[in-house]
Amino acid sequence: MLIRVAVFGALGLFVACSHGPWLRTSKTVILDCPEPTLSAKEIVELSQAGLATVEENMLGEHHSIAALDKGMPMLKQAALHGNLEAMSRYAGLVTWYGFIDNAGDRFLGRTQWENAQEGMLFTILAAHLGESYSDYDAATFRVLLDPAVAYPPGFFDDSSGTAWLLQGWPSHALDPIREQAYRWKSCWSE
């Protein structure tokens, strides 16, 4: 009986965690705009503090995990208030340390798969808000930025540019991320 409970508990945890860091149900939930709680000045200050904190105690190009643990929540909060610099940096660090350079360890309290989804959400959202991307990524971002655009054949098999991050993703995992980024793209006024 104990084994059955453990198996079903692990299965339940897997299902709960397999829908991304903002999606905690078996149904896709697209959230409304994040509630603003900071002034414009506070957002800039938080972004600058987060950017400085994640750079503390670096060893060459490698970030200190302690600095990331301390600075990433600041960057995410500033990103959720529409700060493009924080959003872009947050997306890059979550993608690198939580997904690419990760041997299955938890990062920021999330699994490798949840970090991949979180990083992709903020990557797409940053592009919506004006973050530039390379010309060779234009076809990939044409699909990522518009949830109405169908995935072309081979989209999840491309090994170039940003597309290589999506190799092996099921389309149903990327659909809510594209939709969420599309919904949030107009949450912040200039």
Average pLDDT over all residues of the chain: 86
Long-range contacts of 99-104 (CB under 8 A, 24+ apart): 99/165, 100/165
Q: What is the pTM of this model?
A: 0.83
Sign of CA dihedral 179, 187, 25, 104: positive
Residues 6+ apart with CB under 8 A from 53: 67, 70, 71, 74
Instruction: Check: CB of residue 158 under 8 Å from CB of residue 169.
Output: no
User: Rounded to whole angstroms, how far apart are CA atoms 154 and 68?
Assistant: 35
CA dihedral (83, 86, 92, 96) in degrees, to 10, reads -140
Q: Which of 57, 58, 94 is nearest to 73 (CA)?
A: 94
- pLDDT, tens digit (0-9, with 9 covering 90-100), for 78-128: 999 999 999 999 999 999 998 998 888 899 999 999 999 999 999 999 999
User: Rounded to whole angstroms, how far apart are CA atoms 95 and 68?
Assistant: 13
Q: Is the pLDDT of residue 171 over 80?
A: yes
As a whole number, mean pLDDT of residues 150-170 equals 93
CA angle 57, 59, 63 (to 5 degrees): 65
Band of residue 9 on the pLDDT scale cut at 50, 70, 90: very low
pLDDT at position 27: 56
User: Which is higher by pLDDT, 35 or 104?
Assistant: 35
